[in-house]
Structure 1
Amino acid sequence: MQFKVTILSVAISVAMIPSLAIADEAADAKIAQLEQRVQALQSQQNASLADKVKLNGFISGAYISSDNDAGYNNADTGANFTEESKFGLQATFDISDNTQAVLQLMMRGKYDWEVEAEWAYLSHRFENGIKVRGGKLRVPLFMYSDYLDVGYAQPFGRPPVEVYGAVPFSSYTGAGVSYDVDFDDSTLTMQMFGGESTIKATGTDVSNLIGANVNWTDETWTLRAVYGQAKLDGDLNSEVDVTLAPGVVTKADYTVLELNDEKGTFAGVGASYDNGEFIAVTELTRIEVDNVSPDTDSGYLTLGYRINEFTPYVTVAYMKTQDNEERLPVSEAAAIQMVAFNAERMAYSLGLRWDAIDNLAIKFDVTYADDFGDTSGGFSGNSIDTTTGKFTYDDTLIYTVKFDAVF
């Protein structure tokens, strides 16, 4: 009897083998179908994400040096590879057809390649054409403000520091609103902005920042005007020589001026012409700050001409403080303020941009600055000789070799 039961069990098992095999095949088919569905969903999601996210970047590397240690653009007689070297990544995420999130991360050689968010904002364009942005934004004071760090988008080796170096901060936290008026062959853009910032070099707080600009362009001519104002609060420090003993001199920070919510204003106009061959760009600015802080006029004119992949250019720039009489040396503090704040100079640049390959430009620039008057020229390295009462340098010559690329 036991033998018969065993034979029956074996027979039943043998009979079930085809059914089990069929069941396994059906399960494998279902798993394969599920895997195909998951892969299809992942592909759709990745494609959708790729459509919504745009990633690009830019990089600059530069060598600068000078014939002396006056300090034009922080150049000296040594080789400087960090002052104008930078790397940036920008991501734009399309939340909807009219809403975007933008993040731009910057690393600058002069700040030891620390990662910093230069832009981090949300924007939305309403059906009536008004565009609102909020977050960390670029201060829209200059013609090249929106791509101040993107050297590839600029014709010259660097934006003239006589103008662009006069405002010691480039971004603010707040909001901006703009509106475009489209004509037949041109566009008029009106923009308002407001918020707060901090001057990184001095720690000065910039509050109640508010301003507006208007820009008209027909893609050949561009005309621009801007006005802004803010409150400044904090100490302005300067590095001075301190004699510890005969022949022993050290440097120490000296508070030149304390700013207590002083009002500062900025006004500027600009124009450019670019017909694909000939380039002309000019900007004029005026900065005024209450108290004995310097009021500064500055401007530049750049002319260039494209010859295939080469663009030679010349730039003439100037800057001059206009309120020197408020810092007459009637006291030690006023004398220090006079040395620290009074400034004037002319700068002449001769350069060449070579578009070597797509998205890569190599630039050569020689800048000569002089006409300092009875000032340091605005250079921290141009100290005054206490025995003669004259400044160390009457002029300075700066050499720059730079590459700018976008990707």
Structure 2
Amino acid sequence: MKANKFSLAVLLTASITASQAYAVDNVRINGFGNVVMGVTSSDDTFLGYDDNPDFSNESLFALQVSSDISDKLSATAQVLGRGSEDFDVNFEWAYLSYKISDSLTLVAGRSRLPLFTYSSSLDVGYTYHWITAPSVVYNVPFNNLDGVKLSKTGYAGGWDYMVDVAFGQFKGTTLGAENRGENTALISGQISNETFTFRSVYGRTTNTIDLANSEDATAQALGNGFDSLEAAGFVDLADSLRIEQDTGEFVGFSVMYDNFDYFIGAEHTEIKTTNTFANDDEAYYVTVGARFGKWTPALTYENFESSGDVKYTAQIAQIASSGLPPEAVAALSGLAIGSQQSQLSDYSIVTASLRYDVTSGMAIKADISKRSDDVDDNQDATLARLAVNFVF
């Protein structure tokens, strides 16, 4: 749901009024922001940046308001403006929480889908050592869920544990088109002690991406191409290639060791949508760093791979024997094969980062990231960023 478009000035005025988190009549107001500048070393584009310094691409500002309605019931709303969207403000979160017991909470409304280790604080750059969380894992179009979520916490055998079960729907954007996930179900579990944290997650949804109505010309042409296959009589093949009411699955796991002097961690995810032109995506990162007073240097390696394998070969072979003119056969076969091969991707990113904690609630960070593409050398790029992250 999209809110009225407030100006950034309105948000800043509100933040000054609420310069510290406070409670008045059971209302609490908190906020956070990221001011990020980035520039690439050449005219290559990387994470939305090019060789012109950009201060808006990953910058954002947010306010979160929560209120206790009763001893067990509370309401939370978070409005967030992103620089990449001219700081137009959207309701990022809007939900009710009911505390069934000290260890069991039910949430209903729009809340963060617990996909990743840092899902709940994904936009709050102050909470982790990177400027932004590793893109190969965290850049997905379905972070929020409209639905219900049940959270169970506890302690057993020297370990704290947390289990989330969620159900609902999501909306996002993929290839410039609306990405809808209906009947989305997810379960995640995490255990931790003083130094180790282990987490795993499994999700399943019924996915539809309306490519024919995409704002991206290439994606729109692809959607229209699938319609052309159907019009030519290859209904089953067109249905196999489209992402329309198809099953999507998400699997992830992570491990982190942190003894407060140094840390090392990794996170791995797999995404696949069956019976579509899209191939399976696999991503992971490994990060290591150390703390020296207010300084935290770190090194992170990321990897992303999508196979680009060609499926439905038997159905595609029927095009050649259909009796269509050679140019039509070539066009339709090329579409069916090319749509799948276009998913081929294999690249890695190495990032050296440095965090300096100015004071409680504010950190300055700098990083340099180098992308190496094993499929297209033209996608190689180097990015430098500087950021200020703050919470209040």
TM range (shorter): 0.7 to 0.9
Match for 1:396 among 376, 381, 387? Answer: 381
Report what 2:365 is aligned to.
Answer: 363
Q: How far does the alpha carbon of each residue in 1:124-180 deviate from its partner, in whole angstroms, 9 at most, with x for none?
A: 111373210000011110000000000000111211111111x21211100000111
C-alpha contact 1:264 1:287 (8 A) present in aligned 2:
yes
Q: Distance in 2 between matches of 1:401 and 1:293?
A: 35
Amino acid at match of 2:192: T
Amino acid at match of 2:296: T
Q: Distance in 1 between matches of 2:371 and 2:311?
A: 26
Q: How far does the alpha carbon of each residue in 1:331-351 deviate from its partner, in whole angstroms, 9 at most, with x for none?
A: 331454246421110110001
C-alpha contact 1:189 1:215 (8 A) present in aligned 2:
yes
C-alpha contact 1:303 1:313 (8 A) present in aligned 2:
yes
Task: Tell me whether 1:227 sits opposite 2:202 in the alignment.
Answer: yes
Q: Distance in 2 between matches of 1:259 and 1:325?
A: 16
Task: Tell me whether 1:210 sits opposite 2:185 in the alignment.
Answer: yes
SS of the aligned residue for 2:47 comes to helix
Report what 1:102 is aligned to.
Answer: 76
Give the greater-gyration-radius structure (CA): 1
SS of the aligned residue for 2:311 comes to helix
Structure 1 residue 188, shift from structure 2 partner: 1.0
Report what 2:323 is aligned to.
Answer: none
Amino acid at match of 2:167: G
Q: Distance in 2 between matches of 1:264 and 1:203?
A: 15
Q: What is the 5 A alignment of 1:109-128? A: 109-127=83-101
Task: Tell me whether 1:170 sits opposite 2:143 in the alignment.
Answer: yes
C-alpha contact 2:308 2:340 (8 A) present in aligned 1:
no
Report what 2:254 is aligned to.
Answer: 270
C-alpha contact 2:353 2:365 (8 A) present in aligned 1:
yes
Report what 1:148 is aligned to.
Answer: 122
| Percentage of matched positions with identical amino acids | 27
Unaligned runs of 5+ in 2: 1-21, 224-240, 317-329
Q: Distance in 1 between matches of 2:183 and 2:42?
A: 40
TM-score by length of 2: 0.79
Structure 1 residue 185, shift from structure 2 partner: 3.9
Amino acid at match of 2:345: A
For residues 227 and 311 of structure 1, do their structure 2 counterparts lie closer, same or farther at Cα, with a shift above 3 Å needed? same
Q: Distance in 2 between matches of 1:349 and 1:159?
A: 11
TM-score by length of 1: 0.76
Q: How far does the alpha carbon of each residue in 1:275-332 deviate from its partner, in whole angstroms, 9 at most, with x for none?
A: 2221222101111112121211110011110111110000001010135233999833
Q: Distance in 2 between matches of 1:304 and 1:263?
A: 38
SS of the aligned residue for 1:97 comes to coil
C-alpha contact 1:238 1:255 (8 A) present in aligned 2:
no
Report what 1:259 is aligned to.
Answer: 243
Report what 1:289 is aligned to.
Answer: 273
Q: What is the 5 A alignment of 1:5-404? A: 50=24, 52-127=26-101, 129-165=103-139, 167-183=140-156, 185-200=158-173, 201-236=176-211, 237=214, 239=216, 253-256=220-223, 258-290=242-274, 291-326=276-311, 331-334=333-336, 336-338=338-340, 340-370=342-372, 372-374=373-375, 376=376, 393=378, 395-404=380-389
Amino acid at match of 2:367: D
Structure 1 residue 239, shift from structure 2 partner: 4.3
Structure 1 residue 219, shift from structure 2 partner: 4.0
C-alpha contact 1:295 1:322 (8 A) present in aligned 2:
yes
- The CA RMSD over aligned residues, in Å, is 2.3
For residues 62 and 128 of structure 1, do their structure 2 counterparts lie closer, same or farther at Cα, with a shift above 3 Å needed? closer
Q: Distance in 2 between matches of 1:306 and 1:128?
A: 34
Structure 1 residue 85, shift from structure 2 partner: 0.3
C-alpha contact 2:177 2:216 (8 A) present in aligned 1:
no
C-alpha contact 2:112 2:144 (8 A) present in aligned 1:
yes
Structure 1 residue 69, shift from structure 2 partner: 4.5
Structure 1 residue 406, shift from structure 2 partner: 0.3
Q: Distance in 2 between matches of 1:181 and 1:282?
A: 24
For residues 306 and 76 of structure 1, do their structure 2 counterparts lie closer, same or farther at Cα, with a shift above 3 Å needed? same
Unaligned runs of 5+ in 1: 1-47, 242-251, 377-391
C-alpha contact 2:308 2:345 (8 A) present in aligned 1:
no
SS of the aligned residue for 2:53 comes to coil
For residues 335 and 367 of structure 1, do their structure 2 counterparts lie closer, same or farther at Cα, with a shift above 3 Å needed? farther
Amino acid at match of 1:320: E
Q: Distance in 1 between matches of 2:312 and 2:82?
A: 35
Q: Across the two proteins, how many residue pairs are aligned to each other?
A: 332
Amino acid at match of 2:172: I
Structure 1 residue 182, shift from structure 2 partner: 1.6
Structure 1 residue 365, shift from structure 2 partner: 0.7
